[in-house]
Each structure stands twice: as structure tokens, then as C-alpha cells.
């Protein structure tokens, strides 16, 4: 529970099953995620946020509520991200036969999130860099990147969340494979030739450099002192090529 004036929005993983106002200006919400998940996918969001809402009908006929949360001044720039989410959901059904498994899918975009984006189950958390876009200020590259990252985090619902890693040594099984999937998605909604050239250029100009330097490591590391050190181009980009 929280103070309703300061934190009118209370979110967590899964489906919303109950909410109630309490005395003293407080309120609470109850969420239920029916699927087991590793602890790194747990998330709680509390704040003063607005949202855009839409629906997606799955191939089995279920309606999924889509909500994209952001601060009041940012919400007008979220439409492209929401449309990209619907494209990604449809694409995953058609290409991989994977249907979304909850009644609600949420994305939260805040400027002070310290990662690019995170695939917390049913409650993705993004830095605004990969959500906000408007024609007056955003480039084609911005729109392209937003679609790709929105797709990447959505695709993790099956490649990483529902089907997860045995241990952190298998990090590239979820990240490399999901990069491969988001590359396919971007190729299908744009130009496949251009996308392949971009991906190959990234490998040659950046990942090759990592492989030839003091930070070189295998796609599947043999040991680590801190797993955050392995969120690298080798694990992500080379991992996608190996897949």
C-alpha cells in the first residue's frame, strides 16, 4: 500500500486482481502472476504516471489490455512504442507460434531508469530513450530503435521468462536468441537487406574489437566475478550470430 496522492499508480507483475482505498489517504493493489519466474524478473512500480491504453486480440481470441505508462509530459510521445508493441505481439504469433499468456501487458517509461530496458514479466521497464518519439524531434533511427527494443523486451516473454536459463552461464541462450528474434522482427517490418548490413557492420566494427582485446570472452563464459560484466556485444550480438 502507499499514499494515494503521492503514488496514485501501483503496479507489479501479472494480472491485477484487487484494489482498494484505505483510510488516511492510502490505497493498495493486489497482483497475481500465475507463472513461476526467477527473482530478477520481479518488479514493483509506484508513482504519479499516466498511460496510453489499447487492446490486442490474440490468435486464440483473447483480448489483452496494453498499457504504456509515462510521466504526464511524456505520454504524448508514446504512440509509436505502443503500435510497435502490437506489431511485435502479432509477429511472434505468426513467426514463432507464441501467444501472450497474461490478460495485461504493461510498459513503464521513466528517464531515470539506469538500463536501456528490462523484460520484467508483464511489466517491462524502459528508459524513455527507447519509448519517446515525435516527428518534430525524432529521427528515423530513433523510430527504428524503439521498435526493435520494444520487440526485444516483448520477445523475452518466451525466450528468457517462460523458458529461462538454468544459470547465468547460459545468459546468451536468452539474450543472443532474443537479439536474433528482434533482428528478424526488424527485418520483416523494414528492409531485410538494410537490417542485415547494419547487423554485420556492428559485428565487424565493435564486436570484433572486443574479441581481439583484453576483454575477450566466449559466448558462454566459463567463470565470472560479476555477471553484469557479461552484458556485452559478445554475449548479445555474437550470441545472435551463433544462434
Q: Which residues are catalytic?
A: 153
- The answer to whether 123 and 31 are in contact (CB under 8 A) is no
Nearest Cα residue to 145 out of 161, 120, 126, 159: 126
Q: What is the dihedral of CA 66, 79, 77, 3, to 10 degrees?
A: -20
Residues contacting residue 200 through CB under 8 Å, at least 6 positions apart = none
Grid cell listed for 242: 551463433
How would you class 1 by CB atoms within 10 Å of its CB: exposed for 0-12, middle for 13-18, buried for 19 or more?
middle
Distance CA 118, CA 120 (A): 6
Question: Alpha-carbon torsion 220, 226, 229, 231, what sign?
Answer: positive
- The answer to whether 131 and 142 are in contact (CB under 8 A) is no
- The answer to whether 151 and 185 are in contact (CB under 8 A) is yes
- The answer to whether 49 and 73 are in contact (CB under 8 A) is no
Decide: helix, strand or coil at residue 104.
strand
CB hemisphere CA count around 176 (13 angstroms):
22
Amino acid at each position: 500500500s502507499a499514499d494515494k496522492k503521492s503514488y496514485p499508480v501501483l503496479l507489479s507483475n501479472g494480472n491485477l486482481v484487487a484494489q482498494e482505498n484505505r483510510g488516511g489517504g492510502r490505497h493498495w493493489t493486489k497482483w497475481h502472476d500465475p507463472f513461476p519466474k526467477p527473482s530478477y524478473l520481479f518488479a514493483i512500480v509506484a508513482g504519479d504516471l499516466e498511460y496510453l491504453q489499447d487492446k490486442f486480440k490474440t490468435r486464440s481470441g483473447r483480448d489483452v489490455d496494453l498499457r504504456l505508462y509515462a510521466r504526464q509530459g511524456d505520454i504524448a510521445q508514446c504512440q509509436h512504442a505502443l503500435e510497435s508493441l502490437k506489431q511485435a505481439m502479432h509477429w511472434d504469433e505468426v513467426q514463432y507460434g507464441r501467444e501472450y499468456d497474461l490478460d495485461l501487458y504493461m510498459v513503464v517509461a521513466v528517464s531515470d531508469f539506469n538500463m536501456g530496458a528490462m523484460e520484467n514479466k508483464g511489466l517491462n521497464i524502459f528508459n524513455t530513450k527507447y519509448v519517446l518519439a515525435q516527428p518534430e524531434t525524432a529521427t528515423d533511427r530513433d523510430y527504428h530503435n524503439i521498435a526493435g527494443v520494444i520487440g526485444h523486451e516483448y520477445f523475452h516473454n518466451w525466450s528468457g521468462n517462460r523458458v529461462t536459463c538454468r544459470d547465468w552461464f547460459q545468459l546468451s541462450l536468452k539474450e543472443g536468441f532474443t537479439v536474433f528474434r528482434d533482428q528478424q522482427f526488424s527485418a520483416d517490418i523494414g528492409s531485410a537487406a538494410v537490417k542485415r548490413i547494419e547487423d554485420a557492420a556492428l559485428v565487424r566494427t565493435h564486436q570484433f574489437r572486443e574479441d581481439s582485446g583484453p576483454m575477450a570472452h566466449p559466448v558462454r563464459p566459463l567463470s565470472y566475478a560479476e555477471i553484469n560484466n557479461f552484458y556485452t556485444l559478445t554475449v548479445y550480438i555474437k550470441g545472435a550470430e551463433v544462434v
